Chain A
Amino acid sequence: MLTFVGRRLLQLIPTLFFVSVIIFSLQHLLPGDPALVMAGEERDPAAIEQIRQHYHLDRPLPVQYVYWVKAALSGDLGESMRLKEPVLSLILKKLPVTITLASMAIVIALVIGLGAGIVSAVKKDTVWDYAANVFALWGISTPNFWLGIMLIFLFSVKLGWLPASGYVPLTEDWRMSLATMVMPAFVLGNAIAAILMRHTRSAMLHVLESDYIRTARAKGLLEHSVIFKHALRNALTPVITLGALEFGTLLSGAVLTEQIFAVPGFGKLIVDAVFNRDYAVVQGVVLVTATAYMTLNLLADMAYILVNPRLRG
């Protein structure tokens, strides 16, 4: 296990290096003088010169990169031009909101995705199976920003049941918090539920054909005991690890969902930064998401090894 973790950590180093190169290169995609573009409305030559000095834009590219990586490694991701605040502290402020939203979305995705996947596999080739497959196709094909708008139209505009937008922290008023988060969480969880459903169905179908399931049935065990205690437990291993890889979908989805429902999280931070040409924030958000994504992939791989004794070697 330790050898595996060590090997995976070593593999992460070149990947992280290329991630940092890609993110660093972004600012050089800016048309014209990056210092001038980054200054935005600010036309004061002294301010532009300060930006050039701060980002070492007057130095050769490799030197600029080394300065940028050194600063990033010490937690300095630059400063927001608009909010005049360090990028890292901005991200850390917004992160709890996105984590709350993402956690609720994962719960919704697990309940719908696992439920539909199990029913679909157990009732293979019945109307339930077809319905679950239609749901999966619908979930994968529906743009979540359209689903969000349609839910606002139905539940806020027409029925008046839920607030159309906003965010209330759980600690402040849990009822209001749930009311504001249920629609964004459903929108975010919907696409992942569809993917989880497909994984669960295929894993369950594979497991249900195994000899030990036939043995369990031959012993006279109740069907629900065969499905939940014997089949599901074994089918869940690949589902959970594959599900963890959907973290990227979750983060991408959060950008749009937070924008539609005006949830002040991580996703809204990057969109606002794009519109305000706050490039350091854009770079910071991409760097943090990529690092988080790689860490989660590593944890998913480790979990897979932990729960699958045959791979421990």
Chain B
Amino acid sequence: MAEAALTATAGAASAESVETPTARAIRRFKRRKGALIALAVIAIFVGAAILAPLISPYDPELQTWTAVRKAPSALHWFGTDDVGRDVLSRVIFGARASLLAGVISVAIALLVGVPVGLISGYLGGFIDASFSRIADALLACPFLILAIAFAAFLGPSLGNAMIAIGITTTPIFFRLTRAQVMAVKVEDYVEAARAVGNPHWRIALLHILPNILPALLVQATLSVAAAIIAEAALSFLGLGQQPPAPSWGSMLNAAQRFLVNAPWMAIWPGLAIFLTVLSFNLVGDGLRDALDPRSR
């Protein structure tokens, strides 16, 4: 009996010792039920966005003048809008604009912010000071006001909204990467890599970057949530997705005028934004806890 217990303990200890950081993070993440449910919700929205033409009951741009502002029914589960378009179909297709904007604008911010932050934090000196002041300047302008200004000058379109949100999100990734690089570059393993004669680019890309990826992953998830709200806000103001193409923000804009007679026009797109953003925030929080080396 005692022997069996000892074997079991030894087995558990050896399993613990061979567990890779990724496996440990996945195990910890799986313990957070809220984050898992949120991940499932995101998967549903992504699936709906990809399969939109197959699962939408109607064409999202099809105007039916005999079905204007109809309340939710068996024919139109989420009701119809002011020109007789099916709200459910528009919410499903709207997921494309929101998720695409969230992911692409964060990708822009990552592609610019991470390399510049890496160079800035690794090299220091004048280059670091210059990039840091530019980032300070971008951060000094309130996020949405700067995004509105960029979108206004670039012209209203979904693509320009993504660029505007991407530019305004870039300094966040720059700051994070720079701070992480500055903390990591004095570690012994980086010193060792330098001592054996590795070139700077190799140290930065192969030794430093992999160690700051967890922090970037958490920030990217939370930034997608912020970017989805920003895209919806820009579309709500008429600076994002242009009609008649559906987007959750522009649907809310149109819904404002029909609150008395057709409140469902405002309820569903808003709920879709809320659920998506909440899910990304929950997954971000879950990842932060799962990737935190201090947590057990």
Q: Is A152 an interface residue (CB 8 A)?
A: yes
Given contact pairs A19-B137, A137-B282, A141-B281, A149 touches B270 in the complex (Cβ within 8 A): yes
Given contact pairs A19-B141, A26-B153, A146-B266, A141 touches B252 in the complex (Cβ within 8 A): no
A290 touches B140 (CB 8 A): yes
Q: Is A29 an interface residue (CB 8 A)?
A: yes
A255 touches B145 (CB 8 A): yes
A293 touches B153 (CB 8 A): no
Q: Is A260 an interface residue (CB 8 A)?
A: yes
Complex Cα gap A3–B211 (Å): 37
Given contact pairs A27-B153, A141-B281, A289 touches B236 in the complex (Cβ within 8 A): no
Contacts of B266 in A (CB 8 A): 146, 149-150, 153
How many contacts between A and B, using CB within 8 angstroms? Answer: 133
Would you give 20 A-B contacts (Cβ < 8 Å), ordered by A? A18-B134, A19-B137, A22-B138, A26-B149, A26-B153, A27-B153, A29-B154, A157-B259, A247-B142, A248-B143, A252-B142, A270-B149, A274-B239, A279-B152, A282-B152, A286-B145, A286-B146, A289-B141, A293-B141, A297-B140
Interface residues, chain A, CB within 8 Å of chain B? 14-19, 21-23, 26-27, 29-31, 137-138, 140-143, 145-146, 149-150, 152-153, 157, 247-249, 251-253, 255-256, 259-260, 270-271, 274-275, 279, 282-283, 285-286, 289-290, 293-294, 297
Contacts of B155 in A (CB 8 A): 31
Given contact pairs A143-B232, A146-B270, A146-B273, A290 touches B141 in the complex (Cβ within 8 A): yes
Complex Cα gap A153–B249 (Å): 17
Given contact pairs A26-B153, A282-B153, A18 touches B144 in the complex (Cβ within 8 A): no
- Is chain A's interface secondary structure helix, strand, loop, or mixed overall? helix
Contacts of B273 in A (CB 8 A): 143, 146
Nearest CB on B from A238, distance (A): 19
Nearest CB on A from B130, distance (A): 8
Complex Cα gap A16–B140 (Å): 9
B144 touches A252 (CB 8 A): yes
Given contact pairs A145-B252, A275-B238, A255 touches B148 in the complex (Cβ within 8 A): yes
B278 touches A141 (CB 8 A): yes
Contacts of B149 in A (CB 8 A): 23, 26, 270, 282-283, 286
B148 touches A140 (CB 8 A): no
Q: Is B260 an interface residue (CB 8 A)?
A: yes
